[in-house]
Chains A and B, each alone.
Chain A
Amino acid sequence: GAVVSQHPSWVICKSGTSVKIECRSLDFQATTMFWYRQFPKQSLMLMATSNEGSKATYEQGVEKDKFLINHASLTLSTLTVTSAHPEDSSFYICSARSAGAQETQYFGPGTRLLVL
């Protein structure tokens, strides 16, 4: 149980375009989803926390207009990287928690974004 999927797993785009990444909880309802960014050989940095039906809470230094997060249902959250630039190239990982396991986060497989 507690499976989280992400789509796409890989995306290559041109500079200036927008990219949408989906995060789905497959076998549980995710009251909260988190979005992380991970650079090569580095730790996970939390970008934002989203609760279903409400606006996302962004961490300090994360541009909310650059990284749009929508959590429209209990099983789906999306991250849109708007007007992507090469410096946005990274590994983006979502995680989700259910109402019944407040502390535990289950992570998706990640999405590798390369902006040319």
Chain B
Amino acid sequence: DAGVTQSPTHLIKTRGQQVTLRCSPKSGHDTVSWYQQALGQGPQFIFQYYEEEERQRGNFPDRFSGHQFPNYSSELNVNALLLGDSALYLCASSPAGRTYEQYFGPGTRLTVT
């Protein structure tokens, strides 16, 4: 049984560009959450998707947007990249009705130059 997968593993972008990160949840999971982890910090919640809708959002600007597809996979889009967006982006999936139970993918390391 495959766990949560994320792509790409690493990404280097320039300030002002846009980026799309992808996540495939664990089999049987219907909820996807995204987190940003800056170096030396704990992960911070960006948003959560369920039934193709954003269910909850953290304290992140509108430059951060997402999408969930009918197969429960998800994308995180960041527009107008800033140097401060450099971080590890983590995706987590949850089984139906147990959103507190989150299984994390390996993450995407984004570097903005």
Q: Do they bind each other?
A: no
Q: Name B's A-contacting residues (CB within 8 A).
A: none
Q: Which residues of A contact B (CB under 8 A)?
A: none
